[in-house]
Structure 1
Amino acid sequence: MPRVIVATALLALAMIVPVSAQTVSAAPVAQIPQPVMLWPDGAPGAKGHAEADRPRLYPFLPANRSTNAAVLVIPGGGYQHVALGHEGFQLAQWLNAQGMAAFVLDYRVAPYKNPVEIEDGMRAMRYVRAHASEYKIDPDRLGVWGSSAGGHLASTLGTQCTAGDAASPDAINHFDCRPDFMVLAYPVVTMKEPGTHKGSRDNLLGLNPTTELVTKYSNELNVDTKTPPTFIFATTNDPVVPVENSLDFYRALERAHVPAELHLFDYSNHGCGLCGEIPELATWPTLLRNWLIHIRALPVDAPGAPAPGPNMTDWAPGIHGPGESH
């Protein structure tokens, strides 16, 4: 039985007068879990044995679970650094507050270049699925949440991952790395000029990438019917990453009939995470929560949940439709 697919665009107007970009510092995190190394014996292509050479995951497990779905959180940082605080740990704590497990990825960045960053993201998805029983999550309900350049890595997972390699001697490689749903916050999506974020492109692909490499990692060109349901949040006057990244990716999702929501705020900001310090943007996590309820990643009867409708049951009880699997 085929899945009924609905794509929805929502425009949330917050403030007509734009303001300059704001720098949001990470608030203190009460408890940061002990990280796990993605490759305990050393990552492939590692340049040394320093912290920056050892990609890792921070598993945030909620005290009170409401769901067995989970999210891999990928912070941004322009592929130059990893914004673990406000785009990593704080997002994981928010997910825990909804009763959902989260895993924050600390991946390798410059001077590392493609494909190292992408391989770290793929490994993280596979690692979480391989340890799903240990973490008490459903491996077929694992999403990804990427912010800024982390949104590029997340959308790469959503558009370019393939099934696992059953013949690999590494059991973790047996698992698929494609997420079951995506959350993209003010994402970098394209590597094509003029829309790309130049810093992210230079750090990932180098100063003079080939046309083939630019095309390969321009993820608006890679969307197909296997791309997972997607939620996108951005500001129309983003001073760092052009909003066209979000618009073009949404249009590609729409053409492929992938369920999607696009929330645009008429504001000028980049990199605010949950944006709690900015009243004009602070409602966006509520919109995300409603969407997670809509796709059944969070319980339908959660407080403040929208009334069940036909679109909510088209692909319940899981993220995949009937007959679909990894």
Structure 2
Amino acid sequence: MRKFLYSAVLLMTALRCQAQLPAAFTKETVYLWEKGSRNDQPTKESDRPLMDVYYPKNATTPHAAILICPGGGYGALAKDHEGKQLAEFFASHGIASAVVLYRVSPHRFPAPYADACRAMRLLRQNATKYHLDPARLGMMGFSAGGHLASTVTTQPDLYRDPDDNLAATVSARPDRAVLCYAVISMDDASAHQGSVKNLLGENPDPAQARQMSSYRHVTASTPPTFLWHTADDAGVPVQNSLLFAQACAEKKVPVALHIFPKGRHGVGMAPDDPTLRVWPQLLLTWLGDWPTEAK
């Protein structure tokens, strides 16, 4: 009987994580670049850089929003369990979001970075249309998507794409950062070599690898950051999150770091792990009133 009840709890949790979009929210697909332009040359239509925006239909007050960057080692995108499921979770708590499907290998830097910055700028530029508060736009990333999010967070003007007509007037800097088992370093023993190769090439210039190690670029103006990781992550060592959190602490940046003792890499919301599946609630607690209080 006890085993049956435990299985039932797991099933209910999994179903909650697969919840449909609430009736008050709708979804719109936005292509990041003009079709056929230099930044929109996919091998197939489904590979066009885009973002799916999940926003309230008839809001009377502006909402906070979180731009979500799925992981995949800069070689693929885990757009369901590290994208869509998070967007639906946020919507169920009244938080708008967008999932950015950025370019991956064979595209290298600055392509993914340009896509993520463009997505943030488009959200901010169209805040009124989507019932968003342009001063409350966060950025979240998983694994390599966490590297992308942390890079935009710490270096929002590292590269301005000449085809981004908003780059000179609209900031790409997020107001909050959420980094989930993120790749942070690209220049030491904790670097995830697959992400390094896909983003920077086979033998990257050491100076560029250092530039792309986001913990080195945390400043006092870096936005408040939430991180989580597992101590025995075999894909991306926990040292990555430790480096970023330490840099935040040194610069007096508000930071929350949760390290769980065990858990595999790439679990997303972790609905089948009784220990890890608490992290979304920890995130909501950390966000506090930020999603609901307009500045």
When normalised by structure 2's length, the TM-score is 0.86
**Residues 106, 134 of structure 1: alpha-carbon distance in 2 compared, 3 angstrom cutoff:** same
Corresponding position: 1:33 with 2:21: no
Change (3 A) 1:43 1:70: farther
Please state if 1:297 is matched with 2:290: yes
1:198 to 193, 198, 212: 193
Distance 2:146 2:186 in 1: 13
Q: Does the CA-based 8 Å contact 2:64-2:292 persist in structure 1?
A: no
Aligned 8 A contact 1:156 1:217 in 2: yes
Structure with a larger share of its residues in strand: 2
Give the whole-Å Cα distance in 2 for the aligned partners of 1:63 and 1:98.
15
Residue 3 of structure 2 aligns with which residue? none
- Matched with 1:77 is 72
Bigger CA drift: 43-52 or 174-183? 43-52
Give the match for residue 121 of structure 2: 126
1:36 CA displacement: 1.0
SS of the residue 1:254 aligns to = helix
- Could you tell me which of 139, 153, 156 is aligned with 1:144? 139
Asked whether the equivalents of residues 227 and 241 of structure 2 are also in contact (C-alpha less than 8 Å), the reply is yes
Task: Indicate the SS of the match to 1:214.
Answer: helix
Which structure features the higher share of helix residues? 2
Aligned length: 274
Alignment equivalent of 2:241, drawn from 243, 246, 252: 246
Counterparts of 1:5-20 in structure 2 under 5 Å?
none
> What is the alpha-carbon distance in structure 2 between the residues aligned to residue 159 and residue 116 of structure 1?
17
Give yes or no for the alignment of 1:111 onto 2:102.
no
Unaligned runs of 5+ in 2: 1-13
Which of 45, 54, 61 aligns to 1:60? It is 54
Task: Provide the rounded CA distance (Å) in 2 between the counterparts of 1:168 and 1:83.
Answer: 27
TM superposition score normalised by structure 1: 0.78
- 1:206 deviates by 0.4
Residue 242 of structure 1 aligns to a residue whose secondary structure is coil
Where does residue 99 of structure 1 map in the other structure?
A: 94
C-alpha RMSD over aligned residues:
2.5
Structure 1 residue 105 displacement after superposition: 0.3
Q: Which AA in structure 1 matches 2:149?
A: A
In the TM superposition, what is the alpha-carbon distance from 1:61 to its structure 2 partner?
Answer: 1.6
How far apart are the structure 2 equivalents of 1:234 and 1:93?
22
Q: Which amino acid aligns with 1:38?
A: L
1:215 to 210, 217, 230: 210
Higher relative contact order by CA 8 Å / sep ≥ 6: 1 or 2? 1
Please list the CA deviations of residues 109-164 of structure 1 after superposition, one character each: whole Å capped at 9, or x if unmatched. 00101111111111111111111110010111100010110000000011001399
Shift of 1:173: 4.7
Q: In structure 2, how many angstroms separate the alpha carbons of the residues matched to 1:168 and 1:205?
A: 21
Is the 8 Å Cα contact of residues 215 and 243 (structure 2) preserved in structure 1?
A: yes
Q: 1:264 and 1:53, CA in 2 relative to 1: closer, same or farther beyond 3 A?
A: same
Indicate yes or no: 2:83 matched with 1:88: yes
Name the CA shift for 1:271/1:228 in 2 (closer, same or farther; >3 Å): same
Distance 2:189 2:278 in 1: 30
1:67-87: CA deviations, max 9, x gaps? 611110110000000111000
User: Does the CA-based 8 Å contact 1:67-1:99 persist in structure 2?
Assistant: no
CA distance in structure 2 between the partners assigned to 1:292 and 1:245 by the alignment: 22
Query: Distance in 2 between the 1:205 and 1:220 partners?
Result: 17
Query: Which residue of 167, 172, 179 maps to 1:177?
Result: 172
| CA shift for structure 1 position 172 | 6.1
Match for 1:128: what amino acid? L
Paired position in structure 1 for 2:264: 269
Instruction: Report the CA distance shift for 1:121/1:226 in structure 2 as closer, same or farther (over 3 A).
Output: same
Letter of the structure 1 residue corresponding to residue 118 of structure 2: R
1:280 Cα deviation after fit: 1.2
Q: What residue in structure 2 maps to residue 6 of structure 1?
A: none
Residues 221-230 or 27-36, more deviating: 27-36
Contact 2:186/2:209 (8 A) holds in 1: yes
* CA–CA separation in structure 2 for the residues paired with 1:224 and 1:72: 21
Partner of 1:160: 155
Q: Deviations over 1:192-232 (max 9, x none)?
A: 13101111110000010001110100011011012110000
Percent identical pairs in the alignment equals 39
Query: In the alignment, which residue of structure 2 is the partner of 1:312?
Result: none
